[in-house]
């Protein structure tokens, strides 16, 4: 069955669920009449109905019955309440696609009494179609269902399949939390630009375009980041002077420590 003919049910209509829903519609991979959404908020339901023309309900089991694919897009703290609602209510051939942070496959399998489950770690740029999604699946998930998953996630950006759930925790620390690291570095650059004399507006424009252009250059050049760094660093020049300060402050080691802390936290949350 083509992805465009699939019926997809969303349990939870938050930002990431909406990002997936919008991407499917924008890329022509789904039609409003093939999508259903449940959400606890009446305001949110009406917004999604008006914005996208999809069917909305305040009934998780009722929505779940509608789809060949059931997307779990609820907040982690709501999972304990939602799992009993779905337990025993799903057809064995339905695919459950979870984007719930920290929710392990075994937890979902036991909680909803279902075997065909995909676990995804997306990130926030998915909301503009520039996301990075890392995912894995239970052995019971069919190859066709994996193809559907790849197509859905590709609509939000890029996707990588991994054959072990431990890689999801690693991805959480890198691509999942990664945008926040970049936002922090960008924030610091803007503050530094203002510190040396630029106005806030000019500083922001300088930094944002530098970050954007450098990222695109790195992506399109085909060269390693280290190689490009060396290319733009002249011995005894301004860039070398700045990098010296970062190296003396153990910038690389600090990044490694931060990523390791995020990774261990991800493992703890999923235990």
Using N-to-C axis directions, what is the helix angle for 79-86 and 105-112, rounded to 10°? 50
In this prediction, residue 72 carries a pLDDT of: 97
Q: Tell me the pLDDT band of 1, cut-offs 50, 70 and 90.
A: low
- Amino acid 2: pLDDT: 65
Q: What are the boundaries of each domain within the chain?
A: 3-164, 178-270
The β-bridge relationship of strands 55-57 and 69-72 is unpaired
Q: What is the tens place of the pLDDT at every residue in 232-265?
A: 999 999 999 999 999 999 999 999 999 999 999 9
Phi-psi region of 113 (alpha: psi -120 to 50; beta: other; left: phi over 0): left
Is the pTM value of this prediction over 0.75? yes
156-204: pLDDT as tens digits: 999 999 999 999 999 999 999 999 999 999 999 999 999 999 999 999 9
Q: What pLDDT does residue 17 have?
A: 92
Q: Can you give the pLDDT at residue 107?
A: 95
Question: 178-270, what's its fold?
Answer: ProC C-terminal domain-like fold (1.10.3730)
Contact 149, 135 (CB under 8 A): yes
Q: How far is CA 115 from CA 36, 106, 134, in A?
A: 22, 9, 20
From the candidate CATH numbers 3.50.50.60, 3.60.20.10, 3.40.50.720, 1.20.120.1200, the one assigned to the domain spanning 3-164: 3.40.50.720
């Amino acid at each position: 069955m083509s992805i465009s003919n699939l019926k997809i049910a969303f349990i939870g209509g938050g930002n990431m669920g909406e990002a997936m829903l919008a991407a499917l519609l924008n890329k022509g991979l789904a039609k409003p009449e093939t999508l259903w959404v449940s959400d606890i908020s009446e305001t949110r339901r009406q917004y999604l109905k008006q914005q996208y023309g999809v069917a909305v309900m305040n009934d998780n089991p009722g929505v779940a019955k509608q789809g060949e694919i059931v997307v779990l897009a609820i907040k982690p703290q709501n999972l304990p309440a939602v799992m009993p609602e779905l337990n025993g209510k799903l057809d064995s051939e339905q695919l459950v696609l979870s984007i719930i942070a920290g929710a392990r496959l075994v937890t979902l399998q036991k909680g909803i009494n279902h075997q065909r489950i995909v676990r995804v770690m997306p990130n926030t740029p998915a909301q503009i179609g520039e996301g990075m999604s890392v995912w894995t699946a239970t052995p019971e998930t069919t190859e066709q269902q994996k193809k559907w998953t790849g197509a859905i996630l590709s609509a939000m950006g890029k996707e990588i399949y991994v054959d072990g759930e431990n890689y999801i925790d690693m991805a959480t620390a890198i691509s999942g939390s990664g945008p926040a690291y970049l936002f922090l570095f960008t924030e610091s650059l803007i503050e530094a630009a203002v510190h040396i004399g630029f106005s806030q507006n000019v500083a922001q424009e300088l930094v944002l375009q530098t970050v954007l252009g450098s990222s695109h250059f790195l992506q399109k050049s085909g060269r390693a980041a280290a190689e490009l760094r060396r290319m733009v660093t002249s011995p005894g020049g301004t860039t070398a002077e700045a990098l010296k300060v970062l190296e003396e402050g153990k910038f690389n080691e600090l990044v490694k420590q931060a990523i390791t802390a995020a990774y261990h936290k991800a493992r703890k949350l999923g235990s």
